[in-house]
Amino acid sequence: MDKPRMIEHIGHAVDYTVFDVKWIPCSAKFAVLGSKPKGTGVLEIYELNETKVDLVKSIEKKSSFKCGTFGASSLRNRFMAIGDFDGRLQILDLERPEIPIFNTKAHNGIVNAIDGIGGTQINCGAPEIVTGGKDGSVKVWDPRQNDEPVVDISPPESSSSRDCWAVTFGDSHNNSDRVIAAGYDNGDLKLVDLRKLAVRWEKTEKNGVCSIQFDRKDIPMNKMVVTTLEGGLHVYDMRTQHPEKGFASVSEKNAGRSVGSNGVISGPKATVWAVKHLPQNRDIFVTCGGTGSLRLWNYEYPGKRKLKDSDEKEYGVAGSIYLLNSTAISTQPAHCFDWNTDKMGLGVVGAFDQTVRVLVTTKLNLY
């Protein structure tokens, strides 16, 4: 068998709702963020030891933790930026977590999504954190500047604001260029250029956008994957923008559903909760489905990535995506996933069955 398969290395049950899992860079440890039944936030750090995980540290704070990132921290100072249900953004030194290094009220309501950049990469600009909140605003923070966001992208005050569900950085290949992609609950997708401080492109998907990720943050934009409610999965070729048509994309319907036993799809339409690209190969990514299944996809580039239309305008050509593997890991939605950047195929996944699983995906090196 040449196809990748997923093996459960370790399954670990916890006594709280898991919201996010993240590997701590350059270590065999991962952090689990979640919410205790009484509404307090919990951060637990686990370490892989042989064939089990050991709890290294447990931190409890007064508000449920929703999301976290190590993206803006360097290897020697691996601080975690965390967004919580109260709308606070905190940066914690995991060695001394009692007093946050950075603490601010970022949003009214839950911080739904967070992403960081500039920590370990060189020549790709300042370390920054972006948060998307329930109040519909997207804010960019510089960890050295505690009081106010460096960029605040808000809806006009008059209109009823949308709920921002997903944010991510991209295109950060030098010190000045950088974009944010933000997805909203009504399916709006906005690409904001941080250099020009203007919306560069926008589109409305059919359903609320749950997760966005560029295949790489620190290269000129190449591909972007967007997942939505009701099983939408869209892969955009971000190389070439057409003045009217925008970016070309390839889509997959029902990517969140389970595949029935003999291939006949059954069950309700399920959300695709998250998308994560493999750090060692940007053309492979995993999506987490609402029926508790993980799907591993491979993107293949088309023969020509751009063509010219009758007006001599260039437009991009989308490639195609192939399913490499589909594995049911739980009966509850799997909603957060993180690949280890140092060990190919090692991933940690969180599901609503209050279990954190360490998975090994085999044969990824063949692609």
Regarding 32 and contact with another protein (CB under 8 A), the answer is no
CB 335 within 8 A of CB 274: yes
Is 269 near another protein (CB under 8 A)?
no
CB 174 to another protein: min, Å: 6
Whole-number Cα distances in Å, 35 to 60, 81, 84 = 9, 16, 10
366 sits near another protein (criterion: CB under 8 A): yes
Q: Does 314 bind another protein (CB under 8 A)?
A: yes
With b for 16 or more beta-carbon neighbours within 10 A and e for fewer, the 154-186 pattern comes to: ebeeeeebbbbbbbbbbbbbeeebbbbbbbbbe
Q: Tokens 């050991």 label which residue?
A: 54
State the minimum distance, in angstroms, from the CB of residue 273 to another protein: 17
CB of 108 to another protein, least distance (A): 16
Site for another protein in 182-201 (CB under 8 A): 190, 192, 194, 197-200
Q: How far apart are CA 166 and CA 54, in angstroms?
A: 31
Q: Find the binding residues for another protein in span 328-357 (CB under 8 A).
A: 328-329, 341-343, 346, 357
Closer residue to another protein (CB): 82 or 278 = 278
CB of 39 to another protein, least distance (A): 31
Say whether residue 163 binds another protein (CB under 8 A): no
CB of 64 to another protein, least distance (A): 28
Residue 10: CB atoms within 10 Å: 17
Residues within window 10-29 making contact with another protein, judged by CB under 8 A: 11, 24, 26-29
Closer to another protein at the Cβ: 64 or 223?
A: 223
Instruction: Choose among 208, 117, 129: nearest CA to 171.
Output: 117
- Which residue, among 217, 193, 41, 20, has the nearest Cα to 116 in the 3D structure? 217
Binding another protein (rule: CB under 8 A), the pick from 54, 60, 109, 220 is 220
Contact, 134 vs 164, CB < 8 A? yes
